Amino acid sequence: MCPAVWPCLGHGGLSNPVIGNINLPKWGVNMDMPTPDARVLARKARIVACLQQVLPQDAVIHEVAETRAYECDALTAYRCAPMAVVLPACTQEVSEVLKICHREGVPVVPRGSGTSLAGGALPTEDCVILGVARMNAVLETDYDNRVIRVQSGRTNLSVTGAVEPEDFFYAPDPSSQLACAIAGNIAMNSGGAHCLKYGVTTNNLLGVTMVLMDGTVIEIGGAHLDAGGLDLLGLICGSEGQLGVVTEATLRILRKPEGARPVLMGFDDPEVAGACVSDIIRAGVLPVAIEFMDRLCIRTSDNFANAGYPDCEALLIVEVEGSEAEIDAQLAQIVDIARRHDPVELRESRSPEESARIWLGRKSAFGAIGQINDYMCLDGTIPVSELPMVLRRIGELGREFGLQVGNVFHAGDGNMHPLILFDANLPGDLEKCEALGAEILKLCVDAGGCLTGEHGVGIEKRDLMWHQYTPADLEAQMAVKDVFDPSWLLNPAKVFPLDASESRRGSKRAAELVGDARA
């Protein structure tokens, strides 16, 4: 649920950090990328020529000035122009591209719309970026079976846009939904504010057409509700573009509810707000969204958006759906529960205007924080019951590091979004911020949660995987990649700690290149 992070980066002192084999000073957070393969770089001309044979001229980008447009995703502190960029228009073209890259031993980094906050689409110097942006067609809408089939480059919001005239919608709603592509949603198993009721991408994806690294096209699932055999669809969702390139997706669409309205509640104590969330859920109400903001975020976003938020320690926005009468009944029940927790404010929306005003501050929270500072947005998830402890500990850690942390998050499902404020122009501040971020994410894991709820691991949280998983756990995951992509060429330097994946990336690539040289 957050738009671009670090909005001021790129204009400040870190505008042109070089990655690759150059180490930035770190507080134990390693964002390095593997050394580019000189043998691949040496064959750039030949590789580009091969790609140009299977794609239209304008679909292969290789001039250095132009490839720079793809040097980063929304984790803008880390940049590296790729060797080339391809923009195929269909499954067949994707297959041709991958066959070439497979044969030539070129790493491929798939890219949706480049909105990843975790560096999921960060290139390496020796890679080909495979962008799906030109594959944005709706292939089929089927209201009788409540599915839509789209090319994977289509943006999330425009999927809903395609079925809105019939009052249907596609449920996952990451806050980047105006820009983000379905391909990236599948890669990161994206969620959004409404997933408490509707689930995340994996719960709404019924089928894919996917191209494996060797060019093989596979079809999994379809318009039926359970794909046969092992749950490969579930495996692909959230695999960060490491198992294959999804080119088409069959998505579940739902009829829009008759209406929706929120209630806003303010509390003097975050722990009380947490208890209120728990009581609402226990009462059997299932809101579509429960959003939480702490004092820093309340004040910042209220100053920015003038939403009229109360001056308090914690704010909840709880939204329910249904007919007018159903909404009234649910809100009455929720308000009843909230009153038992002595709220400092209770504001039930009575109209679309009031609803918009309640949501206004929440929706502008990230932008508002960005106005006052650079910030880094985290994405750890915790058991809801650990909320008070985790909030307290985040405050303590922030003081230890001398950095402010604001908290905005999806309280219903425990998906936190701590925002660490820092100054990109102050030498060492980014590193300090990253180190604090790592401590907060470890805290989430120690509290029974995980490193990332919906943004993905990318490069950002790679090394922290050791904190959540044992070597055997990681080995089991990497074994999956061995099956789908034995040569480890698809987005190889992401998700897994580099030291864990090194033997796979290194030796196999080398062996392949030796084989290639002999041929």
Partner 1 sequence: MDIAQTESEMAACVAGASGPVAIRGGGTRGLVLPGEVLTTSGLVGVQLYEPGALTLVASAGTPVAEIETLLAAENQQLAFEPMDHRALLGTSGAPTIGGVVAANVSGPRRIQAGACRDFMLGVRYVDGTGAVIKNGGRVMKNVTGYDLVRLMGGSWGTLGVLTQVSLKVLPRPQAQATLCVPDCDMAQAVKTMSVALGSPFEITGAAYVTDRAEVLLRIEGFSGSVAYRTGRLIDLLDRLGAVELRAEGAASGAIWKAIRDVEAFAGQPGDVWRVSIKPSDAPLIAPRLKADALLLDWGGGMIWARVPAGTDLRARIGQMSGHATLVRADPETRARLGMFHPQPAPLATISAGLRARFDPRGIFNTGLMDRHQPLGV
- Helix ranges (H only) for 319-404 are 324-339, 352-363, 365-372, 387-401
Residues 360-389 that bind partner 1 (CB under 8 A): 381-385
Residues 28-67 that bind partner 1 (CB under 8 A): none
**Shortest distance (Å) from residue 140 CB to partner 1:** 11
- With CA atoms as reference, report the closest residue to 308 among 371, 358, 364: 358
| Residue 497 token pair | 């700690």
How far does CA 265 lie from the centroid of its chain? Answer: 28
Total residues contacting partner 1 (rule CB under 8 A)?
Answer: 94
Residues 388-417 that bind partner 1 (CB under 8 A): 410, 413-415
**Shortest distance (Å) from residue 410 CB to partner 1:** 8
323 contacts partner 1 (rule: CB under 8 A): yes
The residue (of 172 and 361) whose beta carbon lies closer to partner 1 is: 172
Distances (CA, A) of 130 to 70, 87, 105, 109, 237: 10, 6, 15, 6, 18
Q: Choose the stretch contacting partner 1; rule: CB under 8 A; options: 8-16, 47-55, 105-113, 477-485.
A: 477-485
Which of 24, 137, 179, 329 touches partner 1 (CB under 8 A)?
Answer: 329
**Shortest distance (Å) from residue 196 CB to partner 1:** 8
The residue (of 61 and 277) whose beta carbon lies closer to partner 1 is: 277
- The DSSP line for 413-430 is TTEEEEEEEE-TTSTTHH
Q: First and final CA of the chain: distance in angstroms?
A: 49
Which of 483, 510, 511, 514 touches partner 1 (CB under 8 A)?
Answer: 483
**Shortest distance (Å) from residue 303 CB to partner 1:** 30
146 contacts partner 1 (rule: CB under 8 A): yes
The residue (of 43 and 461) whose beta carbon lies closer to partner 1 is: 461
The amino acid present at 262, given as its one-letter code, is P
- How far, in Å, CA of 311 to CA of 302, rounded? 9
Which of 16, 57, 165, 284 touches partner 1 (CB under 8 A)?
Answer: 284
| Residue 451 token pair | 């490193």
Residues 222-261 that bind partner 1 (CB under 8 A): 222-226, 228-235, 237-239, 255-258
| Residue 198 token pair | 């509707």
Residues 69-128 that bind partner 1 (CB under 8 A): none
How far does CA 88 lie from the centroid of its chain? Answer: 23
The residue (of 97 and 147) whose beta carbon lies closer to partner 1 is: 147
Residues 117-136 that bind partner 1 (CB under 8 A): none
- With CA atoms as reference, report the closest residue to 132 among 74, 160, 93: 93
Residue 166 gets which letter from DSSP? G
Residues 162-221 that bind partner 1 (CB under 8 A): 167-168, 188-189, 191, 195-196, 199-200, 202-203, 212, 216-220
The residue (of 71 and 460) whose beta carbon lies closer to partner 1 is: 460
Residues 435-464 that bind partner 1 (CB under 8 A): 448-457, 461
The residue (of 187 and 365) whose beta carbon lies closer to partner 1 is: 187
- With CA atoms as reference, report the closest residue to 244 among 483, 440, 21, 43: 483
Which of 152, 468, 487, 501 touches partner 1 (CB under 8 A)?
Answer: 468
Order of strands, sheet of 289-294, starting from the edge strand that comes earlier in the sequence:
345-348, 260-267, 314-321, 289-294, 405-410, 415-422, 374-377
Burial group, residue 46, by CB count within 10 angstroms (0-12, 13-18, 19+): exposed
**Shortest distance (Å) from residue 152 CB to partner 1:** 18
- The DSSP line for 431-448 is HHHHHHHHHHHHHHHHTT
